[in-house]
Each structure stands twice: as C-alpha cells, then as structure tokens.
Structure 1
C-alpha cells in the first residue's frame, strides 16, 4: 500500500492580519499486505481543540472516502465510517498538536493518498 506525503496550506488575510494554517503530514511509505502503518499530521496556525479533525483517503482513480473524525480535545470516542470500522484507529496528542491514523493488517485496497483535514 502506498501512502503519500501531503502538505495543505491555506493563507488567510483579514483586516491586515496574516494567519497561515498548515497541516503537515508524514512522508510517503510503502507497505506490504498484512503490515501496519501509523501516519501523522502536525497542526499549526489554529487551535485544533476548537474543531473536529478528520481523515479521508483517495484511492487511485477514485473519489474521496471519509474514514473518520476526532472531536479534538474531548473525551468522546472518534467517529468512523461504518464501512471502515475496525480497520483504522484515530488518535491525537493535543499538547504536540498532532493527529494520527493507524491501520493494521493492511490490504491492497488500502492503497491511497491519505489526507488529514479540519
């Protein structure tokens, strides 16, 4: 399975205030079926505990598929897409502004670009 690096940047300007929002993801990795992987997403430019933080993926030639979301900073369990429950684990490290997605026992159909999003 191939997992690709993605850097999402949004720049906002309002009343002379400059704010750069960045979600910087871990580098691409190549895994074989049955292996596990843990991808990270470093948040900067906003307080992630004010948002739901989610993960989506896009398999080659396909549309976006929602994996799940975390109500950041809350004690609530993450929400997962019904079709993917049990395949992924979403976690976070609030003090470090990090979001994580872990997949165990990868399958060929898990080959995709994985995006973190707010």
Structure 2
C-alpha cells in the first residue's frame, strides 16, 4: 500500500497507518518518521506490517505479510497536525480497500 504526500514538508511529520474493518472501529497499526526512518508498531501488527518511506517521492509504504481474511479492511495513512508523534491525526488519506479472498 502506498501513501503519497503533498502540500507540506514530508520529512517533518510522522506518518501513521490505521486499519478499519467493516462495522468495526479504527485500529492503529504503527507510525514512521520519514526523516529518520524511525518507526513504532502496535504489538499486534509487528509481524504483519512493515512501514517504509521513500523521501525522494514523498511516499510512505506499508507492506502486509501472510494475508488472511482478517486482513480484509480499509487502510488509511494519516498525519498529525504538529511535528510530534501525536496520535491526534487531522489529515487522512482516502483509504485503500484490501480484500483477501479464500
């Protein structure tokens, strides 16, 4: 999954990834800082998701491994208002729907 940023300095802000399954709430997957490459993960997703960035194209990526039907969801990238690693995310991508068929 990819998330291309525009309109701001990509390397200044953490990028978060969030999962939403149909009829369920939001689940925070993790976040990555484009400048340093530093990342933090929800323990639940540590073996499922890998976050990377490409500074040259201002794009964040999330790779999901060993997909099962439980991974079927809409996945969002999001950015906090401020430079810190705040979880108050005010800017959201449009979401990417992933469907895993058995």
Question: Taking structure 2 as the reference length, what is the TM-score of the superposition?
Answer: 0.74
> What are the residue-to-residue correspondences of 1:1-118 with 2, within 5 Å?
39-76=1-38, 78-118=39-79
Instruction: Give runs of ≥4 in structure 1 deviating > 2 Å.
Output: none
Which structure has the larger Rg over C-alpha atoms?
1
Could you list the runs of 5+ residues in structure 2 that have no partner in the other structure?
Answer: 80-102
Greater share of residues in strand: 1
Q: Output the aligned Cα RMSD.
A: 0.9
- 3-state DSSP class of the match of 1:101? strand
Measure the CA separation in 2 of the matches of 1:45 and 1:88. Answer: 27
In the alignment of these two chains, the number of paired residues is 79
Could you list the runs of 5+ residues in structure 1 that have no partner in the other structure?
Answer: 1-38
Q: 1:112 Cα deviation (Å)?
A: 0.5
Q: Cα 1:60–1:75, aligned 2, differ >3 Å: closer, same or farther?
A: closer
Q: Cα 1:86–1:52, aligned 2, differ >3 Å: closer, same or farther?
A: same
Measure the CA separation in 1 of the matches of 2:18 and 2:47. Answer: 16
